């Protein structure tokens, strides 16, 4: 058998797990379909919150460099431009990870344990004109400005006032774009006050109880029509507003990228608080299929900080399951990370997620 | 749930639904019981081929030809949804000169049975299907063959049956079939008991389980077929194609078109015969079906794995390699789905249809050819039960062709 542990996804969860496991002596290979590692971390040029333990005050991009350095020191193998497309149970106890490498040829990795740290994808939103060039996910716009240094447009309407919508609006502004408005169908702003305040200080209007009606343009976005909505989210006649924009960004939430867990036969639960269908897992981050672990947004939409803590728990648990960490030692480490997670899941928004995550673990035990 | 019926059909696949339609036309109170949902198993996951060139002489071919006759009429007069039935002809590809030689004899034989199959050169084949690789040295083409959407077709039969008065219960499981002096008198289900004198076992790969309820051994086994589905792409193929196994020796080539079970010397399949144990993924036939929506369904890799529904890396890789070799432009096409289903398998490749040693208990199962056979099977079965004249004789398809069957009764 070639590998101890194959980690799919080199974002915060995958890299944090790789470091923990490799330090304990696990032979780790990380695969990622992108050309560079780090997942979303390298797009996150803002400072993180939380306590010092959670690297608060450090920018996401710097956390990414730090993790990569630690992976390098721990001799973690990283395969880039490599897409994993299936998880199969081979004879015996092995798991086969089917991959496609940069030469486009099919091959596979046999491994004792798999960790799925595939992250999330942006939810789409369909409205008349949504396929016009210029309509894009907020995450895509963020990738363009922060990674590729390309401004997607000059005047932007942002749909969604969650943290992603607020942060990306601010970063688009920093990149030199005008933000016409941030709209949200809900009556309150979805994201944290601190991000909203930064935006409003620059004079960008945040319009709650507003929804997109239509985007128009000949062969690209030229104008966006929005309207105020009533309590049933129906548009109020006469309240229509027209924004002359060339870009419309959609930030209406994320969904776990869990296809590989489906393909691996893991049991799922539907928990809207966590972004939809998520694989059920236990305290060790192991799913209902032996030797398939998950960490990060695939196990419920949260933040990079919680993803890293979950990744560490998975890495430690995997090292224990392979006999490379004593149980008492692993237990103490895990309890420590659980304390961190608990702190990160404080506050009213964190609490909903905390309860949902606890439910996910309870569901594991009922099977 | 209804308390009694003239006939109860077990299984909501294409065979059960077709039987329900033809029976409901003749008699009142037909009930169909399905454990999951209509077309929830193999009938919703196959290549939708209505072919005759690959069918064996006798019942198998007669049922396919009769179905090719009936389908256009069903589409015109009966079905209330478009089943995407297209008579585009079917094509079996081969890859070596030795196979081209073997094909000549096969075409003569098939023509003598009335199957209008023609031998095409590699060039002629590519003029019909330009996307095919130059490795294709020729093909067998039969214009009188069709393709359809298997899911819609099963649903269309179910709806036609309901229109004729049949009742369909989905999500209901049959627990036992009760006999009175050796004859069927009722069935017990998860939702209650139904009194009936006729039960039709149309449970496909689960026909053995249903047969055991009346003490019969029904030798149908789940044959796992795996498939890949491509994204929607501009038209690449016109019709469904089948690729033969590559033959490099004349011995192998002679077997290329040998679909028939060897019955020489009175050799009959045995009721206790188990499916072959060895893995046959490597030697599976290739299928490519262009759907109306622009996806291409690619198969297949077969093996026997019980009721394990998982796909395997080995099988999917084999299909991908075959697809790339035969249709090179698929190299850059994305795969959006893969699935495994249980094609019902019998030792001689012929389904089991007809009455049994248990009075009132009928079988219509074991169809690896459900789409090709369904209308003819449903029609013949309804004729058998109601006593009207049969369009095709069912004798050869009876379960008593298996040696050892009588001892079981």
Residue B334, classed as helix, strand or coil, is: coil
Q: A278 — phi, psi (to 5°)?
A: -130, 145
Region B1-13: what's the mean pLDDT?
A: 97
- In angstroms, rounded to a whole number, what is the distance separating the alpha carbons of residues A138 and B260? 60
| A86 contacts B311? CB cut-off 8 A | yes
Q: Give B153-200 pLDDT, tens digit per residue.
A: 999 999 999 999 999 999 999 999 999 999 999 999 999 999 999 999
Alpha helices in B267-335 (DSSP H): 313-326
- In angstroms, rounded to a whole number, what is the distance separating the alpha carbons of residues A170 and A191? 13
Residue B392, classed as helix, strand or coil, is: coil
ipTM given for this complex = 0.75
Interface probe, candidates A106, A114, A261, A263, chain B, greatest B C-beta count within 10 A: A106
Cα dihedral angle (A303, A307, A309, A313), rounded to 10 degrees?
A: 150
Contacts of A106 in chain B (CB under 8 A): 317, 320-321
Region B23-38: what's the mean pLDDT?
A: 97
Q: Give B111-146 pLDDT, tens digit per residue.
A: 999 999 999 999 999 999 999 999 999 999 999 999
- In angstroms, rounded to a whole number, what is the distance separating the alpha carbons of residues A31 and A40? 15
Q: Spell out where B171-235 has E strands.
A: 174-180, 183-189, 192-195, 199-201, 221-230
In chain B, CATH 3.30.9.10 sits at 90-143+221-345
Q: Which of A88, A104, A265 sits opposite B313 (nearest CB)?
A: A88
Q: Is the CB of B336 inside 8 Å of chain A's CB atoms?
A: no
Q: Is the CB of B312 inside 8 Å of chain A's CB atoms?
A: yes
CB atoms within 10 A of CB B355: 18
pTM of the model: 0.85
Least confident of A250-259, B78-87, B151-160, B283-292: B283-292
Given this model, what pLDDT does residue A151 score? 97
Q: Give A203-254 pLDDT, tens digit per residue.
A: 999 999 999 999 999 999 999 999 999 999 999 999 999 999 999 999 999 9
Q: Which of B313, B320, B338 sits opposite A96 (nearest CB)?
A: B313
Region A154-174: what's the mean pLDDT?
A: 96
- In angstroms, rounded to a whole number, what is the distance separating the alpha carbons of residues B67 and B69? 5
Residue B190, classed as helix, strand or coil, is: coil
Considering the four listed CATH numbers 3.50.50.60, 3.40.50.1220, 3.40.1360.10, 2.60.120.10, the one that applies to the domain covering B7-47+151-220+349-408 is: 3.50.50.60
Share of chain B above pLDDT 90, in %: 80
In chain B, CATH 3.50.50.60 sits at 7-47+151-220+349-408
Interface probe, candidates A83, A88, A92, chain B, greatest B C-beta count within 10 A: A88
Q: Is B177 exposed, middle or buried (0-12, 13-18, 19+ CB in 10 A)?
A: buried
Considering the four listed CATH numbers 3.30.9.10, 1.20.120.1200, 3.20.20.70, 3.30.70.240, the one that applies to the domain covering B90-143+221-345 is: 3.30.9.10
| B316 contacts A98? CB cut-off 8 A | yes
Residue A209, classed as helix, strand or coil, is: coil
Res B279 pLDDT > 80: no
Q: Spell out where chain A has E strands.
A: 3-8, 28-31, 77-79, 83-89, 95-100, 106-116, 120-122, 135-137, 155-159, 178-184, 206-208, 210-216, 223-228, 241-244, 247-250, 254-256, 268-271, 276-279, 292-294
- In angstroms, rounded to a whole number, what is the distance separating the alpha carbons of residues A246 and A248? 7
Given this model, what pLDDT does residue A316 score? 98
Contacts of B312 in chain A (CB under 8 A): 88
């Amino acid at each position: 058998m070639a590998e101890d542990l194959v980690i799919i996804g080199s974002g915060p969860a995958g890299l944090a797990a790789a470091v923990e496991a490799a330090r304990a002596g696990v032979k780790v290979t990380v695969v990622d379909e992108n050309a560079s590692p780090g997942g979303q971390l390298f797009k996150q040029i803002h400072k993180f919150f939380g306590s010092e333990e959670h690297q608060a005050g450090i920018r996401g991009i710097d956390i990414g460099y730090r993790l990569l350095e630690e992976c390098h020191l721990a001799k973690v193998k990283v395969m880039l431009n490599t897409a994993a497309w299936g998880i199969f149970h081979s004879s015996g106890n092995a798991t086969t990870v089917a991959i496609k490498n940069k030469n486009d040829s099919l091959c596979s990795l046999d491994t004792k344990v798999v960790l799925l740290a595939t992250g999330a994808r942006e939810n789409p939103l369909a409205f008349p004109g949504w396929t016009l060039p210029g309509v894009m996910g907020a995450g895509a716009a963020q990738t363009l400005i922060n990674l590729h240094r390309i401004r997607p447009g000059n005047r932007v309407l942002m749909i969604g006032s969650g943290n992603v919508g607020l942060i990306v609006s601010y970063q688009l502004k920093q990149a030199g774009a005008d933000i016409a408005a941030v709209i949200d169908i809900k009556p309150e702003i979805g994201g944290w006050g601190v991000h909203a305040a930064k935006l409003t200080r620059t004079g960008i209007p945040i319009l709650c109880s507003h929804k997109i009606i239509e985007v128009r343009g000949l062969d690209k976005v030229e104008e966006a029509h929005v309207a105020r909505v009533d309590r049933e989210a129906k548009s109020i006649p006469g309240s229509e507003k027209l924004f002359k924009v060339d870009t419309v960004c959609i930030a209406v939430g994320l969904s776990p990228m869990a296809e590989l867990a489906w393909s691996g036969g893991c049991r799922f639960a539907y928990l809207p608080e966590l972004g939809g269908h998520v694989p059920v897992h236990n305290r060790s981050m192991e799913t209902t299929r032996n030797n398939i672990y998950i960490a990060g947004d695939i196990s419920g939409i949260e933040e990079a900080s919680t993803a890293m803590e979950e990744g560490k728990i998975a890495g430690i648990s995997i090292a224990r399951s392979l006999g490379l960490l004593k149980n008492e030692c692993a237990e103490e480490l895990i309890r420590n990370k659980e304390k961190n997670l608990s702190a990160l899941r404080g506050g009213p928004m964190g609490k909903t997620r905390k309860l949902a995550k606890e439910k996910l673990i309870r569901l594991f035990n009922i099977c | 749930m209804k308390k009694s019926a003239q006939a109860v059909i077990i299984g909501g696949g294409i065979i059960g639904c077709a039987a329900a339609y033809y029976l409901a036309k003749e008699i009142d109170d037909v009930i169909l019981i399905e454990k999951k949902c209509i077309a929830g198993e193999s009938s919703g996951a196959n290549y939708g081929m209505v072919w005759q060139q690959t069918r064996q002489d006798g019942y198998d071919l007669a049922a396919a030809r009769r179905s090719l006759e009936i389908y256009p009429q069903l589409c015109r007069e009966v079905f209330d949804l478009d089943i995407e039935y297209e008579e585009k002809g079917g094509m079996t590809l081969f890859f070596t000169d030795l196979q081209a030689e073997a094909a000549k004899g096969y075409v003569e034989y098939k023509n003598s049975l009335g199957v209008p199959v023609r031998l095409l050169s590699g060039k002629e084949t590519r003029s019909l299907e330009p996307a095919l690789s130059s490795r294709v040295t020729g093909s067998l083409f039969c214009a009188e063959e069709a393709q359809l959407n298997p899911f819609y077709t099963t649903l269309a039969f179910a709806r036609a049956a309901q229109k004729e008065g049949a009742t369909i219960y989905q999500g209901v499981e049959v627990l036992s079939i009760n006999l009175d002096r050796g004859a069927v008198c009722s069935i017990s289900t998860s939702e209650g008991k139904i009194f009936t004198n006729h039960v039709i076992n149309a449970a496909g790969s689960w026909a053995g389980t249903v047969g055991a309820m009346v003490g019969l051994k029904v030798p149908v086994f789940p044959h796992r077929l795996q498939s890949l589905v491509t994204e929607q792409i501009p038209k690449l193929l016109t019709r469904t194609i089948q690729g033969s196994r590559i033959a490099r020796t004349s011995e192998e080539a002679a077997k290329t078109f040998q679909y028939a079970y060897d019955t020489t010397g009175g050799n009959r399949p045995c009721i206790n015969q188990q499916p072959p144990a060895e893995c046959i993924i490597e030697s599976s036939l290739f299928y490519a079906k262009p759907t109306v929506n622009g996806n291409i369904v690619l198969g297949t890799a077969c093996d026997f794995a019980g009721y394990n529904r998982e796909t395997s890396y080995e099988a999917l890789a084999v299909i991908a390699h075959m697809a790339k070799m035969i249709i090179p432009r698929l190299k850059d096409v994305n795969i959006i789905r893969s699935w495994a289903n249980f094609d019902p398998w019998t030792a001689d490749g012929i389904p089991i249809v007809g009455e049994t040693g248990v009075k009132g208990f009928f079988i219509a199962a074991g169809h690896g050819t459900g789409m090709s056979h369904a209308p003819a099977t449903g029609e013949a079965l309804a004729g058998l039960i109601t006593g009207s004249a049969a369009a095709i004789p069912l004798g050869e398809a009876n379960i008593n062709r298996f040696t050892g069957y009588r001892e079981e009764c």
